[in-house]
Structure 1
Amino acid sequence: MRDFQSMNILNIHKFYYQRRGAERYYFDLTKLLVEKGHRVIPFSMQDDRNYPSVYSKYFVPNLELGTTNKSAPFSNVRAYCNTPLHGSSTLPSALTLHGMTQSLRTLGRILYYPQARRNIGDLLDAEKIDIAHIHNIYHHISPSILGEIHARGIPIVMTVHDFKLICPNYTLYTEGAICERCKGGKYYNATIHKCLKNSTAQSLAGTVELYFHKTFRFYEKYVSRFIAPSQFVKNKLVEFGQNPDQIEVIPHFVDVPTLEVTSHKSQVTSETAKYLLYGGALSPEKGIFQFIRYFHHASIPDLELWVAGDGPEKSEIEGYLQENKIKNIILLGKLEKSVLLETMAASLGVVIPSVVYETFGLAALEAFSQKKIVLSSSLGGLGELVEDGKTGFLFDMNDQQSVIRSLLQLSHEKDRVASMGEYAFQVARDRYNKELHYQRLMELYGGVLKGKKA
């Protein structure tokens, strides 16, 4: 390594365009590292939606899995490889020999993709890399790249954005409830309970994938440190058998000064704000449809719910609102980030009604940076991030009255809510700023690099 202040950092993630929270952190981290004087070299997957990059020639060919739902990674499989594959098929409907061959090729790529290893090797031949930072590489890239990076003497760290290391469907959630049946290596439960898209074939593929990766210990052997964004994530990984000495807790960050500018544009006060904002996917694991029903039953005068986002539950939600002639719940559709922040700045607060374990809660942190409190389920990392009665109100999504109590507090205690918003801003500024995140990350990088020298 030439200089700890000017490293060449290989930043790897399977998507090179904005989708969800993992991509937001990936690009925010890239920006932060560049600001600090490092060179960041990306490695990802080719896609028409990608941001431009001079390194795109090294990216792996596109693998279109046909859905943005993380719980259904094997549906509508269509692979675009160097050798064209005629037609398309899904794993559960591969009834022809051709379809079966294509599905097996896709499964092979998901398990271990030799071309990804070759591509990363070509990139490493062209660039001197000091450290590799891995994010999500499942399915599209595969852990085949890890051995090649390790063989070059380059240490690897990995940010854990979900529970894919221990759960075939990423979420520890199936059949409408939290699920930890696979604990102890019992991944066959994913097939028994059809945890992926309610499909036996897709679930079997996910089961095989995790057994394969655990058998060869790709991640355990080659990753020097796993970065958990919350203590909850670390604890859960350890419960499932991960080595605690390999896991460091480094929470995500928010660029408070930038977001504060947006907040100051708004002249909204606790007296003029009248709506609670949800910004995220309209999908079952996010709990928004269930929360909408609770909100409707609460019937709180002068309080509206604004819903920003898109997803598989959109049509069902629209039908529910029309059938019940609901006027105080507004569907905004998917908003650009800047518009979402402005909408957030004019709100009473933000709601995160997840029914799954959230690994962290970037949406909550952004709300804090806008001086807004968060109404949230207490699951996963959200229970650490949101301090009940201080930066927001925690509730149990299985208890309607618990949710309604939080809504009543938001609506009836506006002076308290405003004071809590000020405190939430201080928490974001003091505990989750980018400088502190960078310091923690450099300490981790430094320790890993020293271990390499030893």
Structure 2
Amino acid sequence: MNILLANWTWFPSGGDWTYIENVSKLYESNGHHVVPFSMQDDRNFPSAYQKYFISNINYKALNNQKKISAGFKVLSKSIYSNEAKKYLNNLLDEVEIHLAHLNLIHHYITPSILEVLKQRNIPIIWTLHDYTAICPQSTFISNDKICEACKGGKFYNAILKKCKKNSLLPSLAAATENYIHRINGYYNYVDFFICPSIFSYQKYKEFNFFKDKLHHLYHSYEFIETINASSKFSDEKFVLFVGRLEKIKGVHTLLKAMRNHPNIKLKIIGDGTQEEDLKTYTSQNGMNNVDFLGKKDKFEVWNYIKQSSFLVCPSEWYEVLGFTIVEAMLFGKPVIGADIGAIPETVINDETGLLFKVGNDIDLAAKISLLYNNEPLINKLGENAKKHAGNLFNPRKHFEGLKKLIPAL
């Protein structure tokens, strides 16, 4: 089969790309051919089909113009893409596609391509990596707090609350996008929606989003490459955070907790809008035990995970899954995680790691203290974590799950 794999990037861009990379290998190892459909970008991996990719859209540059015309351009491009439909039609004229597997396409490729796929009677599955279809903000975070006010299709609340960037125009654009996609019935064209965690599956069900088409299926992760990755070891002992430096990732809570542990080294991998604020916080509080390492490629990240005592995941939003947790566990590392979203599905308290009350730096500090100097506990939880992750994210299980939806696979 020729399988169209659509995603907004064709380069490492986060957890979505980790899945794209793994499911591509999975399809190909089972005799299928992956045909990417994405957006032009200098960082993209080379592809024989890149001539069909849509032109690059830089929303950040458009938003910085602060003009009404730029705002309308952002609004129109994020909702409907004639270009994406045109290029996809061109691709489909040249290549026979037997299955379309969509991933993150909102705002860039847009759900408008579903019309094209439906017209050609191509089966469609869509892996839901975020909550955009039911939450205009995509994260259920409004003004730094969990919010479900748009439940029941009440997307106007995103405007009233200024959920997007605490600004009226982006919030208006986001809410309008959700309304138009619902009104035009794009989601009706999808055969199956795949939720990567039980939590996200239940949340979509709570919002009455195509209950009969929703299916829970944990991601595939080919961990042989991960486990066999070479490492440069040192004698330094430290705990690790890997992720975007944004408010929803809870790094500020982690830094507050680390103020209670000046003798424990914390290494932070990642970048984001909060980076300078977080660095300022550590400087003002004399926290010489914190190292900001910036963004690293996956092999460098793996090296740091291998050397660490354990990983900390202090997220403060409804994590859909959390691939960094998965990678740490596959390396036999326990994880201290916040009790929110899908995190408790991987971090099982006192079995594969430790859970702390979300946003509670005192509880987090106590859990760090409990685990850091207890090597027998670290080893025990780490062994359990490796087994648990290996079972949950087994590629064979993932493919069998896909075959139940698409028997022709």
- Could you list the per-position Cα deviations for residues 104-127 of structure 1 after superposition, in whole angstroms to 9, with x for gaps in the alignment? 243222222122112111111111
Runs of 5+ unmatched residues, structure 2? none
Q: Which of the numbers 31, 50, 68 marks the counterpart of 1:56?
A: 50
Query: CA separation in 1, counterparts of 2:110 and 2:329?
Result: 36
Q: Which of the numbers 80, 98, 120 marks the counterpart of 1:130?
A: 98
Which deviates the most, 31-40 or 153-162?
31-40
State whether residues 253 and 359 of structure 2, in contact with CA within 8 Å, keep that contact through their aligned partners in structure 1.
Answer: no
- 2:119 is aligned with what amino acid? A
What displacement does 1:428 show? Answer: 2.0
State whether residues 230 and 249 of structure 1, in contact with CA within 8 Å, keep that contact through their aligned partners in structure 2.
Answer: yes
State whether residues 266 and 345 of structure 1, in contact with CA within 8 Å, keep that contact through their aligned partners in structure 2.
Answer: no
Aligned to 1:256: 223
Aligned to 2:254: 291
Whether 2:9 is the aligned partner of 1:15: answer: yes
Query: CA separation in 2, counterparts of 1:267 and 1:104?
Result: 52
- Could you list the per-position Cα deviations for residues 107-159 of structure 1 after superposition, in whole angstroms to 9, with x for gaps in the alignment? 22222212211211111111111110000111111111101101111110000
What displacement does 1:243 show? Answer: 2.3
Aligned to 2:239: 276
- Could you list the per-position Cα deviations for residues 293-333 of structure 1 after superposition, in whole angstroms to 9, with x for gaps in the alignment? 1211x2264x2111111111111111122222212111111
Superposition map of 1:9-88 within 5 A: 9-66=3-60, 76-77=61-62
State whether residues 289 and 313 of structure 1, in contact with CA within 8 Å, keep that contact through their aligned partners in structure 2.
Answer: no
Which deviates the most, 222-231 or 53-62?
53-62
Query: CA separation in 1, counterparts of 2:401 and 2:236?
Result: 37
Query: CA separation in 2, counterparts of 1:273 and 1:422?
Result: 22
Pairs aligned (count): 409
Which deviates the most, 20-29 or 179-188?
20-29
State whether residues 276 and 304 of structure 1, in contact with CA within 8 Å, keep that contact through their aligned partners in structure 2.
Answer: yes
State whether residues 112 and 143 of structure 1, in contact with CA within 8 Å, keep that contact through their aligned partners in structure 2.
Answer: yes
Query: CA separation in 2, counterparts of 1:322 and 1:364?
Result: 28
- Could you list the per-position Cα deviations for residues 144-189 of structure 1 after superposition, in whole angstroms to 9, with x for gaps in the alignment? 1101101111110000000001111110011111110111111111
Whether 2:88 is the aligned partner of 1:94: answer: no
Query: CA separation in 1, counterparts of 2:360 and 2:44?
Result: 42
Query: CA separation in 1, counterparts of 2:199 and 2:45?
Result: 33
Query: CA separation in 1, counterparts of 2:359 and 2:217?
Result: 30
What displacement does 1:443 show? Answer: 2.3
Query: CA separation in 1, counterparts of 2:237 and 2:213?
Result: 46
Q: Which of the numbers 407, 412, 418 marks the counterpart of 2:373?
A: 412
Superposition map of 1:76-225 within 5 A: 76-77=61-62, 90=65, 93-95=66-68, 100=69, 102-219=70-187, 221-225=188-192
What displacement does 1:290 show? Answer: 2.0
State whether residues 160 and 227 of structure 1, in contact with CA within 8 Å, keep that contact through their aligned partners in structure 2.
Answer: yes
Paired residue secondary structure (2:271): coil
- 1:156 is aligned with what amino acid? I
State whether residues 273 and 348 of structure 1, in contact with CA within 8 Å, keep that contact through their aligned partners in structure 2.
Answer: no
Query: CA separation in 2, counterparts of 1:285 and 1:113?
Result: 30
Query: CA separation in 2, counterparts of 1:378 and 1:191?
Result: 29
Query: CA separation in 1, counterparts of 2:247 and 2:282?
Result: 17
Which deviates the most, 384-393 or 408-417?
408-417
What displacement does 1:267 show? Answer: 6.8
Aligned to 2:318: 357
Aligned to 1:243: 210
What displacement does 1:363 show? Answer: 0.8
What RMSD in Å do the two structures reach over aligned CA positions?
A: 1.8
Paired residue secondary structure (1:183): coil
Q: Which of the numbers 388, 394, 406 marks the counterpart of 2:355?
A: 394
> Moved runs in structure 1, 4+ residues, more than 6 A?
none
Q: Which of the numbers 194, 215, 219 marks the counterpart of 1:227?
A: 194
Aligned to 2:304: 343
Query: CA separation in 2, counterparts of 1:392 and 1:258?
Result: 24
Rg bigger for which structure? 1
Query: CA separation in 1, counterparts of 2:228 and 2:43?
Result: 29
State whether residues 314 and 359 of structure 2, in contact with CA within 8 Å, keep that contact through their aligned partners in structure 1.
Answer: no
Paired residue secondary structure (1:371): coil
State whether residues 352 and 385 of structure 2, in contact with CA within 8 Å, keep that contact through their aligned partners in structure 1.
Answer: yes
State whether residues 234 and 244 of structure 1, in contact with CA within 8 Å, keep that contact through their aligned partners in structure 2.
Answer: no
Query: CA separation in 2, counterparts of 1:126 and 1:213?
Result: 28
Aligned to 1:385: 346
Percent identity over the alignment?
A: 33
Query: CA separation in 1, counterparts of 2:27 and 2:6?
Result: 14
Query: CA separation in 2, counterparts of 1:407 and 1:42?
Result: 42
Q: Which of the numbers 382, 385, 393 marks the counterpart of 1:421?
A: 382
State whether residues 37 and 50 of structure 2, in contact with CA within 8 Å, keep that contact through their aligned partners in structure 1.
Answer: yes
